[in-house]
Amino acid sequence: MSNGPGRRKRKQGAQPTRGRFITVEGGDGVGKSTQTRLLAEALAGTGIDLLTTREPGGAPGAEEIRKLLVDGAVGRWDALTEALLHFAARRDHLVRTVWPALEAGRWVVADRFADSTLAYQGYGQGLEGATVETLYRLTVGDFAPDLTLILDLPAEVGRSRAADRSAGKHRYERMDLSFHRRLREGFLDIARREPLRCVVIDASGTEAETHTLICAALRERLGVEL
């Protein structure tokens, strides 16, 4: 049984029928939600039929799990428990939202996906990368994003922006600076290891400047003129 609409199903030379899956990643305060919205608006302006979504969340069950992950005390869960919750939410998100949309030919733009679990629970909280990879294989299979945009900022800047935006209500935003530094290095290491899928976007400029860099990445990687 297939784990989802993986690209391996396509025959050589066949016209792709599934949509494209684009994920937007990065630490807290880098502007993912804003840039996800701007990207979706730009893609819709070209006539592309698309869906925007988020993780954790994006489906009814996954949204319930989200509450367990983002609310409460900083030390509410250990790293493995958090990873299990994230992958449970991710599986529900894929089965009920992402895979059906892609099979219908729609594009999907997601604010976070599995790289966040590796960065937060792996690099940030010390969970073995092999454990995260095992959970990925069990719940996601060989499916992967067509393009991952990693928004990058120094940890100090991102934390400051996040605090100004939400008054520190988010569990992860309240974690210490050393955690956020490990988180940033984790995302950059993921990009170094998977350069064909990932593009690092300098998010230190204005919203418009960051959006311009994202549009350039879409043009270069997916041939989309925005």
Q: How is the chain split into domains, by residue range?
A: 18-222
pLDDT at 117: 98
Higher pLDDT, 180 or 160: 180
pLDDT at 161: 80
pLDDT at 169: 62
**The pTM is what?**
0.89
Judged on CB neighbours under 10 Å (0-12, 13-18, 19+), 101 is buried
pLDDT at 167: 52
22-48: b (≥16 Cβ within 10 Å) or e = bbbbbbbbbbbebbbebbbebbeeeeb
pLDDT at 13: 43
pLDDT at 172: 81
134-148: pLDDT as tens digits: 999 999 999 999 999
Higher pLDDT, 40 or 166: 40
pLDDT at 176: 81
186-216: pLDDT as tens digits: 999 999 999 999 999 999 999 999 999 999 9
The enclosing H or E element of 79 equals helix 79-93
60-101: pLDDT as tens digits: 999 999 999 999 888 899 999 999 999 999 999 999 999 999
Cα–Cα distances in Å, from 87 out to 75, 125, 129, 132? 19, 16, 14, 9
Topology of domain 18-222, CATH = Rossmann fold (3.40.50)
| pLDDT above 50: residue 6 | no
pLDDT at 171: 80
Token digits of residue 124: 């940030």
Q: Which amino acid belongs to residue 67? A: K
Cα–Cα distances in Å, from 138 out to 2, 141, 178? 11, 6, 31
| pLDDT above 90: residue 22 | yes
- CA–CA dist 60, 62 (Å, integer): 5
**DSSP 8-state class, residue 9:** G
pLDDT at 9: 38
Q: Which residue has the tokens 């969970």?
A: 127
